[in-house]
C-alpha cells in the first residue's frame, strides 16, 4: 500500500524537485558555510568525469553489436565535442540562470543520456547509444563542467585556485571511480547487449541521485560577500593580495568583451599548448615506456606499463588540486611559467636521457602530467584575475574550445610522428624524439603567450561603479538566478 502511494506520489516529487532546482534563486541563507559548495561541485564533476572511463564499454559493445574500434569510440568523441560546444555556447546562460539551474540541466542530460543509451543497447540500436551518451550526455558534460566554477570563485575570493582545483580534480577522479565500478558491473550483468543495457540503466539512476546533492547544496554567496570567508582573512573591498607575478584586477569584463581581448587569446594559446603537451605523453603512455626500455637490460612488462598509466592518472589528479592551490600563493602567471617552462625542460630531459634511466623517465612524465592537470584547474582563477567574477564561468566555457583543439592536435602529432618514424626504420626511444621536440616547441609558444598577458584595457571593463562591482554581480545573479 505504502509502495503504491509512493509510486503515485513519485511524479509529484520529481516535479517538485525540478521546480525547486530551476526556479528558486539559490542564495545562501545566513550561516551557510562555503565549505558546502566544493562537495556540491564535486558531486557533479566526479559524475561527469565518468566520460574518460568510456573505454570500459568499448570491448563489450564491439562484441555484442559487431562494431569496429572506431565506431565504438563514437559516443565518447561526440560527448567531448558536445562538451566543448555546450560549454562555449551555454556559458552565458549558465551565468544568467545560476549554478543550481546549470547543475539540474547537467543532471538531467547526463542521466537521461545513459537511460537513452540503455534503451539503445537493449534494442541493439547503436545510433541511440551514440545519440544518448554522446549528444544528450555530452550537453550534460559541458554544462556540468562549468556549472560550479563561477560560484566557487565567488565563495573563495581568497583561494580561487584551490576552490576550482577541487572541482576540476573531481573531473579527473570521476574516471578513477567509474572505471573499476563499470567493469565490475559488466562482470556481474554480463557483457551482452542486455548486460550493457542494465549497466547503462544503473549508471543513469545512480549518477542522478549522486548529482542531486550538488543541486540541493549549491548556493550563491549573499550580496556584499567579499571577504575571505568563514575562517579566512578579510581584505578591504576591492583589495587584492600582493602576490608577486599576479595580475589581479578588481574590474569586471563581460564574456562578449573578453573574447575580443588579446588576453583571452593568449590564455587560449597557453591552455591549448599545455594540454597538447600533456596529451603527448597520455596518448601513448603504455607503448612509450615499453618502447623506451625495450632494448635495455630491464624491459617494461605489459602489467608494469599499465601501472605506469595509472600512476600518470594519479599525477594528473594531484596536479589539479596541488598546483592550482599553489597558484594562490605564487600567482597565476608564475604558475604557468612553471607549467610551460619546467614542462619543456622535462620533455628535454626525457628526450636526452630518458632511455638511460627508468626513474628519470617516470619522474619527468609524472611532472608533465601533473602540469597538464594543473593547467586545467588553474585557468578559471587566471580568468578571474584578468576578467573579474562577473561572467567568469561563461568566459571559461569559451576558453574550453582550446581543450577541444588540443584534443585533436595532441593525438594527431604523436601518432603521425610515431608512425612516420616507424616507417623510417626507427625503433625504441627513437620513435618519439621528433614528437618530444615538437612538444618542447609548443610549450615554448605557450610560454611566450603567457609572457604577453597584461592587465585588460579599461575600455573592456563593465561600466559599473568600481566599488559596487561585486555587489552588482551578486545582486544580478540573485535577481536572475
DSSP-derived secondary structure for 140-164: HHHHHHHTTHHHHHHH-TT-HHHHH
Judged by CB under 8 A, does residue 217 bind another protein?
Answer: yes
Residue 467 binds another protein (CB under 8 A): no
The answer to whether residues 315 and 373 touch, using CB atoms and an 8 Å cutoff, is yes
Task: Tell me: does residue 173 bind another protein (CB under 8 A).
Answer: yes
DSSP string, 383-408: HHHHH-STTHHHHHHHHTHHHHHHHH
In the complex with another protein, the residue whose CB is nearer, 25 or 307, is 307
Measure the CA–CA gap between 221 and 234, rounded to whole angstroms: 15
CB-CB contact of 394 with 91 (8 Å): yes
- Residue from 25, 39, 235, 341 touching another protein (CB under 8 A): that is 39
Instruction: Please say whether the beta carbons of 137 and 79 come within 8 A.
Output: yes
How many angstroms separate the CA atoms of 198 and 465, rounded?
56
- Which of the stretches 169-177, 346-354, 394-402, 408-416 binds another protein when contact is defined by CB under 8 A? 169-177
Instruction: State the minimum distance, in angstroms, from the CB of residue 214 to another protein.
Output: 9
Size of the site for another protein (CB under 8 A): 43
Residue 223 or 433 having the CB closest to another protein: 223
225 binds another protein (CB under 8 A): yes
Residue 153 has a CB neighbour count (10 Å cut-off) of 24
CB of 185 to another protein, least distance (A): 14
CB 140 to another protein: min, Å: 18
Report, in Å, the least distance between residue 133 CB and another protein. 20
Q: Which one of the spans 19-27, 40-48, 58-66, 117-125 is the region binding another protein (CB under 8 A)?
A: 40-48
Does 314 help bind another protein (rule: CB under 8 A)? yes
228 binds another protein (CB under 8 A): no
Which residues does 443 contact at the CB level (< 8 Å), separation at least 6? 273, 274, 277, 340, 341, 343, 344, 347
User: Which residues are CB-contacts of 454 (< 8 A; sequence separation ≥ 6)?
Assistant: 247, 263
Site string for another protein, 43-82 (x = CB under 8 A): x--x------------------------------------
Residues between 284 and 303 that touch another protein (CB under 8 A): 301-303
234 contributes a contact to another protein by CB under 8 A: yes
Rounded distance between C-alpha atoms, residue 45 and residue 58, angstroms: 22
Q: How far apart are CA 216 and CA 71, in angstroms?
A: 38
Q: Judged by CB under 8 A, does residue 42 bind another protein?
A: yes
The Cα 259–Cα 395 span in angstroms is 8
Query: Does 245 interact with another protein (rule: CB under 8 A)?
Result: no
Q: With binding defined as CB under 8 A, does residue 360 bind another protein? A: no
Q: What's the distance, CA 453 to chain centroid?
A: 23
Question: Which residue lies nearer to another protein by CB, 34 or 333?
Answer: 34
Closest CA to 117 of 207, 14, 188: 207
Task: Pick between residue 289 and residue 413 the one whose CB is nearest to another protein.
Answer: 289
Binding site for another protein (CB under 8 A): 30-33, 35-36, 39-40, 42-43, 46, 170, 173, 175-181, 210, 213, 217, 222, 224-225, 227, 229-230, 234, 301-304, 306-311, 313-314, 362
Amino acid at each position: 500500500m505504502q509502495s503504491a502511494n509512493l509510486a503515485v506520489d513519485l511524479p509529484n516529487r520529481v516535479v517538485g524537485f525540478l521546480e525547486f532546482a530551476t526556479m528558486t534563486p539559490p542564495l545562501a541563507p545566513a550561516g551557510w558555510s562555503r565549505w558546502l559548495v566544493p562537495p556540491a561541485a564535486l558531486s557533479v564533476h566526479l559524475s561527469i568525469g565518468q566520460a574518460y572511463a568510456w573505454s570500459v564499454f568499448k570491448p563489450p559493445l564491439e562484441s555484442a553489436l559487431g562494431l569496429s574500434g572506431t565506431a565504438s569510440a563514437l559516443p565518447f568523441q561526440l560527448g567531448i565535442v558536445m562538451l566543448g560546444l555546450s560549454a562555449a555556447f551555454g556559458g552565458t546562460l549558465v551565468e544568467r540562470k545560476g549554478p543550481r539551474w546549470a547543475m539540474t540541466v547537467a543532471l538531467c542530460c547526463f542521466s537521461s543520456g545513459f537511460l537513452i543509451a540503455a534503451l539503445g543497447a537493449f534494442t541493439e540500436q547503436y545510433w541511440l547509444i551514440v545519440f544518448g551518451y554522446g549528444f544528450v550526455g555530452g550537453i550534460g558534460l559541458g554544462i556540468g563542467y562549468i556549472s560550479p566554477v563561477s560560484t566557487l570563485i565567488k565563495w573563495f575570493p581568497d583561494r580561487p585556485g584551490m576552490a576550482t582545483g577541487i572541482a576540476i580534480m573531481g573531473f579527473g577522479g570521476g574516471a578513477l571511480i567509474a572505471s573499476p565500478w563499470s567493469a565490475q558491473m559488466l562482470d556481474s550483468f554480463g557483457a551482452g547487449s542486455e548486460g550493457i543495457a542494465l549497466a547503462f540503466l544503473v549508471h543513469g539512476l545512480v549518477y542522478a541521485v549522486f548529482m542531486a546533492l550538488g543541486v540541493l547544496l549549491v548556493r550563491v554567496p549573499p550580496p556584499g560577500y567579499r571577504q575571505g570567508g568563514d575562517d579566512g582573512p578579510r581584505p578591504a573591498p576591492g583589495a587584492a593580495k600582493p602576490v608577486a607575478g599576479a595580475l589581479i584586477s578588481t574590474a569586471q569584463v563581460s564574456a562578449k568583451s573578453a573574447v575580443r581581448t588579446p588576453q583571452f587569446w593568449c590564455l587560449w594559446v597557453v591552455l591549448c599548448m599545455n594540454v597538447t603537451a600533456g596529451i603527448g605523453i597520455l596518448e601513448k603512455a603504455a607503448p612509450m615506456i615499453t618502447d623506451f626500455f625495450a632494448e635495455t637490460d630491464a624491459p617494461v612488462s605489459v602489467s608494469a606499463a599499465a601501472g605506469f598509466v595509472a600512476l600518470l592518472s594519479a599525477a594528473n589528479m594531484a596536479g589539479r588540486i596541488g598546483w592550482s592551490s599553489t597558484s594562490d600563493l605564487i600567482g597565476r602567471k608564475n604558475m604557468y611559467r612553471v607549467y610551460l617552462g619546467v614542462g619543456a625542460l622535462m620533455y628535454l630531459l626525457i628526450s636526452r636521457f630518458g632511455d638511460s634511466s627508468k626513474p628519470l623517465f617516470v619522474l619527468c612524465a609524472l611532472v608533465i602530467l601533473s602540469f597538464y592537470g594543473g593547467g586545467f584547474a588553474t585557468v578559471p582563477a587566471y580568468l578571474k584575475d584578468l576578467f573579474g567574477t562577473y561572467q567568469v564561468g561563461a568566459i571559461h566555457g569559451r576558453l574550453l574550445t582550446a581543450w577541444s583543439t588540443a584534443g585533436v592536435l595532441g593525438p594527431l602529432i604523436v601518432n603521425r610522428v610515431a608512425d612516420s618514424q616507424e616507417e623510417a626504420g626507427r625503433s625504441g626511444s627513437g620513435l618519439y624524439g621528433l614528437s618530444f621536440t615538437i612538444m618542447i616547441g609548443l610549450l615554448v609558444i605557450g610560454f611566450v603567450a603567457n609572457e604577453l598577458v597584461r592587465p585588460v584595457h579599461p575600455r573592456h571593463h563593465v561600466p559599473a561603479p568600481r566599488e559596487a562591482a561585486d555587489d552588482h554581480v551578486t545582486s544580478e545573479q540573485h535577481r536572475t538566478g
